[in-house]
Amino acid sequence: MRCPRCSREDTRVVDSRPAEDGRSVRRRRACAHCGGRFTTYERVDTTDLTVVKRDGRRERFDRDKIVRGITTSCEKRPVSASDIQDLVNDVEGELLAEAEHEISSVDIGNRVMARLRELDEVAYVRFASVYRSFADVEAFRDVIAGLKMEGRAEGREGFDI
């Protein structure tokens, strides 16, 4: 493994432990040259999953792309990195368990939105606005109205516009 500080390949594993509920291995490494320490994660390669985009293009499943989208939606919200990783782990686990080699980007987006809705309503609205390409304020109002109705049905307060 190459050191991110000095780019030398002379690194050693200092500590190794399971991470993400056993779905990956977290390794703490040290560089023999500069003494820098860094963390790496080893996980099963899910290259057998192909995402079918809305325009028909196909691309390899990229877990990090989902993490980036969710992280952006959760910016300045009380959502931890651990919560985001758990959400992505759940979605990825479902996709792998279904044994389908191709999955639509729409299906992935809907799964992410369903979990974000439970995790943080503001992050949900942010993600939905990008994912659904909101064209105007009315689209935001529709989503928020749905959250308000759901909140009332569950006996809790929702957004107020």
Q: Is residue 58 scored above 90 in pLDDT?
A: yes
CA atoms lying within 13 Å on the CB side of residue 97: 6
**27: β partners:** 16, 40
158 pLDDT band, cuts 50/70/90, is very low
3-state secondary structure of 18: strand
pLDDT, mean over the chain: 84
SS3 158: coil
Nearest to 84 by CA among 127, 29, 142, 48: 127
**Alpha-carbon distances, residue 131 vs 4, 66, 127, 138 (angstroms):** 33, 11, 6, 16
Give the full edge-to-edge strand order of the sheet including 58-60: 58-60, 50-52, 102-104
pLDDT in tens, 109-118: 999 999 998 9
Predicted local distance difference test score (pLDDT) of residue 144? 78
Domain ranges of the chain: 1-43, 45-153
| Residue 159 in this model has a pLDDT that exceeds 60 | no
pLDDT tier for residue 119 given thresholds of 50, 70 and 90: very high
- CA distances, 97 to each of 41, 44, 53 (Å): 22, 14, 21
